[in-house]
Amino acid sequence: MRYVLEGTWSGYHSVQRRVVHREVIRKPIELSCIQYTDGTTLQIYVREARPRERVQEINGYGSLIRQALRLNKSFVTVNELQERHPT
């Protein structure tokens, strides 16, 4: 089974909302949202890929999503990630 993970940035205004990350994954995940310090969010959506669907990947936020997945939560703030992985 294949799934499509899409990350949609909320933007500062509704007209700025857009997909900034898309990838194919092998199993569903629990993560649904990453919130930035400025109040914007990266909403995570997962759906089953259709048979023979060609998915145009957008590799924008893969490492951030992987860090957030390590916390095993559905809602994560960037501050939590910085506390766990200081720069």
Instruction: Give the global pTM.
Output: 0.88
- 57: DSSP letter: -
- In angstroms, the Cα distances linking 63 to 26, 53, 66, 69, 82 are 17, 24, 5, 10, 13
Higher-pLDDT residue of 22 and 85 is 22
- Domains of the chain by residue range: 3-84
Q: Which residue has the tokens 């569903």?
A: 28
- pLDDT tens digits for range 17-69: 999 999 999 999 999 999 999 999 999 999 999 999 999 999 989 999 999 99
